[in-house]
Amino acid sequence: MNNFRHDSEPSRSFLLAELSAIEMTRNVMVKERTKLKELVEAPLLAACEELYDKNIRTLETSANKKSLELGEVYISVDFGSLSEENRQFVQASGFSLHQDGEFQVLKIVMPVNESTTADEIENWSKKIAHGFKKQPAVWVPKYKLSDLKEIYRLPEDTDEFDDPNLWQEMGYYFDSKEGVFYLNEEHYRKVNE
C-alpha cells in the first residue's frame, strides 16, 4: 500500500499490516522538511515534522508491516542534541536510551499488534511530539572553507576554491557574517531563528 492517501480518496484508517516499509531512513541528515515524506512512513510523519520544526533531530523511524515482527513502532532521536529542557522531559517520560555508534539514542516506542491502525500510531506519536519544546538546532553542521576542502580532498594551499560563490553553486549556503557554510539555506535559517 502507498504510504499516503490522495485527497480524493475517502478517509479510512488502515492497518499497520498494510503499510510497506521505507528502507533508507537510518541516520540520514534531513536537509529539507519536505524530504521527510520520502523518509518517514505516514503514521509517524506529522510527529517527525513537528520534531523537525522544533529543531529535534530524528535518526530513524519505523511504522510498517515489518514493525509487527518487532511488536513495536518507534521514533529514534539524537539524545545528545537535545536541550536540557527536552532531556528533562525525556527522563520524566521514562523513554529508553542506548548507544548506537556515535549517537546516544532516545528510542520512543509504541507496542503494536495485528489490529493496530495507522490512526492510533499517528495520534500516539503526535502526542509525544507535542511534549517536546522548541530548541536551538545544535545538530545542524557548519563548515569552514578548510573543512570543505578536506571533505572534497582539495589541496589546502590552493586558493582556486576559496570563492564562496563556487560552493553556493554546489548547493551550500554561505553565511558571510560568520564565515561558514551550511548544507543549504534551510539549515542556516534553523540555526538563526
pLDDT value at position 154? 92
pLDDT of residue 11: 47
So what's the pLDDT on residue 2?
Answer: 41
Residues 6 or more apart from 8 whose CB is under 8 A from it?
A: none
User: DSSP assignment of 152-169, as one string?
Assistant: TT--TT--TT--HHHHHH
pLDDT at 9: 45
Q: How far apart are CA 6 and CA 189, in angstroms?
A: 31
The pLDDT value recorded for residue 25 is 61
Which residue type does 101 have?
G
Q: What is the pLDDT of residue 12?
A: 53
CA 86 to chain centre: 16
Percentage of the chain modeled with pLDDT above 70: 93
Query: Could you read off the pLDDT of 96-110 as tens digits, one per residue?
Result: 899 988 889 999 999
Which segments in the chain show pLDDT lower than 70? Answer: 1-12, 25
Specify the amino acid at residue 170. Answer: M
Domain boundaries, the chain: 16-131, 142-191
Q: Which residue has the cell 520534531?
A: 51
- Residue 158's pLDDT is 83
Query: For the segment 117-126, what is each residue's pLDDT rounded down to a tens digit?
Result: 999 999 999 9
Supply the Cα-derived Rg of the chain in whole angstroms. 19
